[in-house]
Amino acid sequence: FIGVIAALILYIAITMLAFGLMSQANITELSNPSMAGIMAMITGTSGKVIISAGLIVSVLASYLSWIIYAAEVPNSAAKYGAFPNIFKQQNSNGTSIASLTLTSLTVQLCLVLILFTGKSYNTLVLVSTSMILVPYFLVAAYMVKVAFVKKLSVAIKLMGFGASIYGLWLVYAAGLNTLLLSVILYIPGIMLFMYSRKQFKLNENI
């Protein structure tokens, strides 16, 4: 809660600073990072250098955290039998080398595809965003199933129905082409999942 409030105050302060110095038209003409251009007006070149250096540190820190987070997902999935057992193994530092290798290679493959297909980074973001919509819908639908099986309250059932309808609408709004591409990209993950169930001898219904 404190972090959210602090971030909100910081964003408001930055916005007020920007509009206190420049008009909206001038702000839109600033090159990225726009805050560097604003600081250059206040402190000169030194302010621009400080903001640019801070941005580099921020991006590198975010990149590191996302690498760790992405590598943690296959490792955690392997502990529950959703990924092959090799992703559960860790080295002396507690890092899953297989997970880290898989996620790193996947990222590099996506970057190479952008280079050779001529598509922009925004296209990749659109596809990845669309891919998460199907799990959103399935989670909501599973909530409805659990609500009826365990005979939960009407409020829980209504929440599940509402979330399911909204999730289905999001999938429809994403577009058929994007949805079909998402299904194709799901295939390797489904194959890994089925292999994992066979490896861990999990025969219960999905």
Going by the DSSP 8-state scheme, the letter that residue 1 receives in this structure is -
Residue 36, C-beta contacts closer than 8 angstroms, at least 6 positions apart: 47, 48, 51, 52, 55
With H, G, I as helix, E, B as strand and everything else as coil, classify residue 81: coil
81: alpha, beta or left? (left if phi > 0; alpha if psi -120 to 50):
left
What is the model's pTM? 0.58
Residue identified by tokens 């999990």 is 202
Give the model's confidence band at 11: pLDDT under 50 very low, under 70 low, under 90 confident, else very high. Answer: confident
Q: How many helices (H) and strands (E) does the chain have?
A: 8, 0
On whether the CB atoms of residues 84 and 74 are closer than 8 A, the answer is no
When pLDDT is averaged across residues 65-88 and rounded to a whole number, the result is 82
Look at residues 14, 61, 58 and name the one whose alpha carbon lies nearest to residue 39. Answer: 14
The pLDDT value recorded for residue 144 is 92
The pLDDT value recorded for residue 194 is 83
- Give the tens place of pLDDT for each residue, 117-171: 766 677 777 777 778 888 888 999 999 999 999 888 889 899 999 999 998 898 8
Give the model's confidence band at 179: pLDDT under 50 very low, under 70 low, under 90 confident, else very high. Answer: confident
CA distances from residue 142 to 59, 70, 165, 168 in whole angstroms, order as listed: 37, 25, 13, 13
**Domain limits, the chain:** 31-118, 120-206
Residue 70 and residue 80: Cα distance in Å, rounded? 17
Give the model's confidence band at 105: pLDDT under 50 very low, under 70 low, under 90 confident, else very high. Answer: confident
Residue 180 and residue 185: Cα distance in Å, rounded? 9
